[in-house]
Chain A
């Protein structure tokens, strides 16, 4: 049964490694890929009046930029490798949004790269990979 692999992709080197791994898996098993690009966003942050006014325009711009600069070239590359792919751009808390996408897409697994930081900041705030490992509804592959 062909199912979907969700890949968290933000254009970083770690994401690139995750994508390579996911592509090799998809190639072997005939799975399709869902590339998820999450823009970190909290509905509980504070904005100034002019930020409120510009928010809709900014959001449109941000999504267009993500589509043309990051996702469009990627899709072409993956399709060229003969793998079926769809892309998603979402706003929200990265780990939570990845989980929601995995559920919505009925995905077989989530593949995500890790940056390998073990510093104070990661301990304090947690990392996306670490959070996913704990709360994801499907198996998670963390690519080093």
Chain B
């Protein structure tokens, strides 16, 4: 249903006429972007005083580790039970027709499986070396506990409305949870989180996706200006989120899981074809994690890159998944937490690792034959690659070096992943937006039009400025969300212990 035809037409005209007016706009947008958001990026990625270690990475590592220890390695203890929940063993047949655990998991996953898994991992490995993979896996495993915490809270403190819809997420557990514990500042944190969530929805959930989708299209089909991809994607996103063409989103949602399966399967085939290299790859991964083998920043550089890209990809501790999961009706908040802890596992430990292994095994990183050390590129910013590519193009090179036509499949996968991530993030951003400004047709339309505008900006901008801002915005969400999780984690522990006790006593039973 389109309720504001004039406004929409005007916005469409801006989207179309703006880029067409200036050919050099790609560069202009990038320059403008770098100068306007540079200070924000600088704060988020500033180092601990006197070191080269970004404080935000320490922040994420500390958070994930604390949750893991506090909940007694719940991600390993509850792993099997989580899979049984997703399989539907504990679902009451009388609740059929409601959102199942499987659907909650796949919907949240389609928001996180995106270009972070394909392009972000390539960035991590080309800067941090194979060792970054090790830290990425560690971050993925630890992140499972963070995801568990935030999603349990998201369900517990959501708002349920008379018409049967629900709204939830960090904004709501900050306000209601803090009030319950008698801790002040919940509202302030909720507002801050909502602001960062909106920025994150424009950044990592949108511009980064559009940017890397364009990069892969030009990588395969040849170069053309970024705004063209941007406008086309913006129009499709516009049709879905404003025009109400739900069928496009539904189709994407159905194709994406198969694309993800195809991606993992192809990676496994390539790894199998080079089975003699598996040992070497793993020794490079383990050695690189602890030693300085020519990567930027040494072993610490590998750790930084691994954690950074893992957090960017699986969004554990960021708070976005709490928004997605809170819409699910369930009597037990803990079950949503358990289901959600599978997300970092699938996203990072499985899919991201596949990307990294394919890049390493196919020998995309150039090393010095004499010393075995990786060579840096001329600028010294990353490891030299065979083709000189980075980001999604590097992943594409790695896959097509073994299966030449896979680059075309990857284009389709990348565009679909980007699209489904954008649709998810438009939802997260909108929830934050309505939390701040209230619900209403016009207010929501303003957000949606802004969202479409940033699709164009993202596609037209160069990798550097966009990746930096995208990271910074997503991590800014974690800066607010993680302290809230610290304050509220005793509540989660109480819920979890009660659930586990009832599971053990047989009060919670399998159906059939």
Contacts and interface: CB of A to CB of B under 8 A. Distances in A.
A47 B250 CA distance: 7
B474 to A, nearest CB: 17
The 5 closest A-B pairs by CB, nearest first: A91-B97, A43-B100, A91-B96, A57-B164, A49-B427
Majority secondary structure, A binding face: helix
Contact of A57 (B91, B107, B163, B427): B163
Interface stretch (B14-22, B214-222, B323-331, B395-403): B323-331
Majority secondary structure, B binding face: helix
Interface residues of B, number: 35
B510 interface: no
Given A52-B324, A56-B164, A57-B165, A47 B97 contact: no
Interface string B225-251: 000000000000000000000100110
Interface of A: 39, 41, 43-57, 59-60, 62-63, 90-92, 100
A36 to B, nearest CB: 13
A59 B107 contact: no
B363 interface: no
A55 B111 contact: no
A59 B98 contact: yes
Contact of B250 (A48, A59, A62, A91): A48
Nearest to B106: A46
Contacts of A51: 107, 246, 250
29 contacts: A39-B97, A41-B96, A43-B101, A46-B106, A46-B254, A47-B107, A47-B253, A48-B107, A48-B424, A48-B427, A49-B111, A49-B327, A51-B246, A52-B324, A52-B327, A52-B328, A53-B327, A54-B165, A55-B99, A56-B98, A56-B164, A57-B163, A59-B97, A59-B98, A62-B97, A63-B97, A90-B96, A91-B96, A92-B96
A43 B88 contact: yes
A46 B96 contact: no
Interface in B97-144: 97-104, 106-107, 110-111
B257 interface: yes
Interface string B70-104: 00000000000000000010010100111111111
B166 interface: yes
Contacts of A62: 97
Interface of B: 88, 91, 93, 96-104, 106-107, 110-111, 163-166, 246, 249-250, 253-254, 256-257, 324, 327-329, 423-424, 427-428
Contacts of A48: 107, 246, 249-250, 253, 423-424, 427
Contacts of A49: 107, 111, 324, 327, 423-424, 427-428
B322 to A, nearest CB: 13
B91 A43 contact: yes
Contact of A46 (B91, B103, B329, B428): B103
A43 B427 contact: no
Select the residue from A47, A60, A100 with max chain B CB neighbours within 10 A.
Answer: A47
Given A46-B257, A59-B98, 6 more contacts: A43-B91, A48-B424, A52-B327, A55-B329, A56-B99, A56-B165
B93 A47 contact: no
A52 B104 contact: yes
A100 B96 CA distance: 13
